[in-house]
Each structure stands twice: as structure tokens, then as C-alpha cells.
Structure 1
Amino acid sequence: MLRRLELPADVIATSGEWGVAKPGSRFFERVLEVAQAPAERTLYVGEHPANDVLPAKAAGLKAAHPRRGPWGYLWATDPDVAGAADWHIDSLTELVGITGR
């Protein structure tokens, strides 16, 4: 779905494509290897705090938490997610507006 949006992204990948499991640090190391960018200039998008937002932040990445799908809505008001995510978005199309920040 992300690829169909034609976002101005350098890399779009999933843990299944790479054969590494989240929230393991190897996944986030792989994100940075493929992105060839420093962690602070890399945006990670994910709905679940334990698998996405918190480990991405621990790896030094920027994080966007989308309020979509069951996990996104379930965790939208969680204080840990609210405090950790750099952005809270309602639609993946909002990523276009934050990619330059």
C-alpha cells in the first residue's frame, strides 16, 4: 500500500521481506543499512508501541504513529506512544507533509 502512494521515500520495506523480526534490534539496524542515512534523518512508521514506535526510537530513528487499523487506534492515546512518537498521523498521505522536516 505504501508503494502505491508513491511517497517521496528512499526505502519502503517490511520485516517479512527481510526475514528479520521486530522488535529485534537487527531489523532497525537493517533499516539504517538500507536507508544509508543517519538514524536522526530516518523516519519509521508503525502502529504498535512494542514492535514499532519504542524500538525505532531506541534505535535513534524518528517515528510516526498512524492512527489507522486496529493497533493504530488501540494505541493512539497510550502515554508511551504519545510521548515517544515524533508525529501522530491520521492518514499515510500525511507522510508527504512531514518528510522534509
Structure 2
Amino acid sequence: MSEMLRQRAWEIAERLTRAGGGGEARLTVTPDGYRVELDILRPADGSPGPDDHRAVLDALALGDRWGHRYSPPSRNDGTARETVWSEVHHAPNDRADRADS
């Protein structure tokens, strides 16, 4: 994969780690790029966590695709589980596995 693509993914990971209120972002390789995930830590009492929401959103927006997963406390023994993710992908004409005509 290209160095530029990996640098974009690392930039997202670093920004998410700084903004995420104590969690560390995970970087994984996907078939056509990279995925960065961060578990958002929330206090058990439901009060707002220490994360900087705006900085998290700004970091996610650096990717080509992004999203959010939330599982309520009722499903997790009283603890909310929240993860944000962002992906960076090769442009279709940059993919090494594409068939040339």
C-alpha cells in the first residue's frame, strides 16, 4: 500500500488518540486501505466523557468513510460501549489488485 495512504491513517489515529479522552486508537489493514478505530470511554454514571467531540469529528472527517457504533448500558451490564471509526482507501485506479484491460 502507498506510503501516503498509511500516513493519512496514522494522522487520523494520532488525532483520535489525542481527542478521545484517554483511549488509544487502533490501526488495521483492510483489503483496500486502512481502518482506524477508537473506543470512547464514558463514565458509568452517564455523564459526558473527557473526549473533545469536535476534535473527534474533525479527525474522523480526514478519512474516506467513517462511522460510529453504540451499544447501550442495558446490553453491557450497565456500561455503554461506543466506538468511532474512519477508513482511508486507495482510489479505484490506484489499487494494485485491479485487472488491467
TM-score, normalised via structure 1 length: 0.25
Answer 1 or 2: higher relative contact order, Cα 8 Å, separation at least 6. Answer: 2
More helix by share: 1
TM-score, normalised via structure 2 length: 0.25
More strand by share: 2
